[in-house]
Amino acid sequence: MASSSSHAHNKNYVYDVFLSFSGEDTRKTFVDHLYDALDRHGICTFKDDEKLQKGKEINDELLQSIQDSRCYIIVFSKRYASSSWCLNELLKIMECHKTNGQTAFPVFYDVDPSEVRKQIGAVGHALAIHRNRNESEVGRWREALKEAANLSGWDVRKTANGHEAQVIKLIVEKVSLELWPTDSYVDENLVGMEQRMLDLDRSLEIGLSDIRMIGIKGMGGIGKTTLARAIFDKISINFEGKIFVENVRERASKFGLEKLQEQVLRGVLKDERISVQGVHDGRELMRKRLRGTKVLVVLDDVDCEEQLEELAGDPNWFKPGSRIIITTRDEHVLNKYTVKWIHDASLLSTEDAIRLFSKHAFRKNIPTQEYERQSHEVVRYAAGLPLTIKNFGFISPW
């Protein structure tokens, strides 16, 4: 199974999630809300078109969509087993789960897991519709229902005291961790980044429900923005709203802080209609509208306390679990704003500097023997600054 799981993570899939459900029971209720939540978290989800004809045999295109999905959410409901379409979807899902290591999560909506496992109660009545079909086919359906019901999932009526919104939140969080595990792949072109990200992870502590502001400080060209972007890409799936605000210093001077407030609000709330008429208006909108959202906000290249006051405000602006990451050249800005977690964006080691230069100058991890001495001289002159090293690599005559 270990090799199958590895295969599942390494393959390029068309969809992150395939939703299997009975449209009669859940399309306009639970599944509608679940699909919306997955979509808002950037999870590419396949949900069959409502126009598909009821009772039509499952087609090759749909079977391919199942195969091309990384995870499955099977929403078992009272009528699920009455649909041969749903049952054939389930057969394919369980085949991919067992053969390729793709993950299946059962959700029990208005039915008990034991009803699905034993095909009794409402599920048994639904399955009885197929009494005149081939016994072998029905037998395969029964086995798939039993296997799926034995997987770890959620009984909606018994989870979070039956609050569906909370159940959906738990499902999305679990699926997010499956799709993007905490030890996820780091772009090999980001030389020296893995340890920096690991150090930052220790301060972020995504699983905790407090609100944290984390600073990344260092001179220009040292890689603060690159680090912040890498960590943003890695952890953003864990948040309900997220925004990366680039070049705060330059853009605040050019456009005004109200435009950056507008960018934060629009990005986090996914509403392009939001308009901010002034800085005070922006503060009030952020205070009122963001407190119900668990956010990840990156403020890149901040150079004064006012920018933090207007764009990050008070921690009470945000929902517990939120994280605000600030990059700056000036540590005093972070100290004035009492940012508790402050990280130095360190210079590259000689080994990493050589590797970064070689990638850009020679398209290799180490310099060619012919230019080894010159490469070390360039790296020594660049003094561990990633941007300088990359620029030297780009203009290298070699």
pLDDT for residue 329: 94
CA dihedral 223, 226, 232, 234 (to 10 degrees): -110
Range of lowest pLDDT (64-73, 91-100, 277-286, 348-357): 348-357
User: Is 156 within 8 Å of 167 (Cβ atoms)?
Assistant: yes
| Catalytic annotation, residues | 89
Q: Domain 193-344 is in which class?
A: alpha beta
Do 2-179 and 193-344 agree at the fold level?
yes
Q: Is residue 11 scored above 70 in pLDDT?
A: no
Q: Which residue has the higher pLDDT, 333 or 208?
A: 333
Tell me the CA distances in angstroms from 210 to 173, 199, 289, 308, 322, one per residue in order: 17, 19, 19, 19, 7
Bridge partners of 155?
108
Measuring CA to CA, which residue among 114, 142, 116, 120 is closest to residue 130? 142
Share of the chain above pLDDT 90, in %: 57
Q: From edge to edge, which strands make up the β-sheet containing 341-344?
A: 241-245, 295-302, 323-328, 212-217, 341-344
Query: At 236, is the pLDDT very low, low, confident or very high (cuts 50, 70, 90)?
Result: confident
pLDDT for residue 78: 96
Q: What is the mean pLDDT of residues 64-72?
A: 94
Question: What is the phi/psi pair of residue 326, to 5°?
Answer: -125, 125
Query: At 51, is the pLDDT very low, low, confident or very high (cuts 50, 70, 90)?
Result: very low
Identity of the residue numbered 290: L
The rounded mean pLDDT for the chain is 86
Give the long-range contacts of residues 162-169, CB within 8 A, separation 24 or more.
164/30, 164/33, 165/33, 167/107, 168/30, 168/33, 168/34, 168/37, 169/37
pLDDT for residue 156: 97
How many Cβ atoms from other residues are within 10 Å of residue 219's Cβ?
Answer: 11
Q: Is residue 184 scored above 60 in pLDDT?
A: no
pTM metric for this prediction: 0.62
pLDDT for residue 372: 75
Tell me the CA distances in angstroms from 316 to 210, 211, 286, 384, one per residue in order: 11, 8, 10, 39
User: Is 294 within 8 Å of 321 (Cβ atoms)?
Assistant: yes
Choosing among 3.40.630.30, 3.40.50.10140, 2.60.120.260, 3.90.640.10, the CATH entry for 2-179 is 3.40.50.10140
How many Cβ atoms from other residues are within 10 Å of residue 90's Cβ?
Answer: 26
Q: Is residue 240 scored above 60 in pLDDT?
A: yes
Q: What is the pLDDT of residues 205-220, one digit of tens each?
A: 887 889 999 999 988 8
Q: What residue spans define the domains of the chain?
A: 2-179, 193-344, 350-395
Residue in the structure block whose two tokens are 């808002």: 40
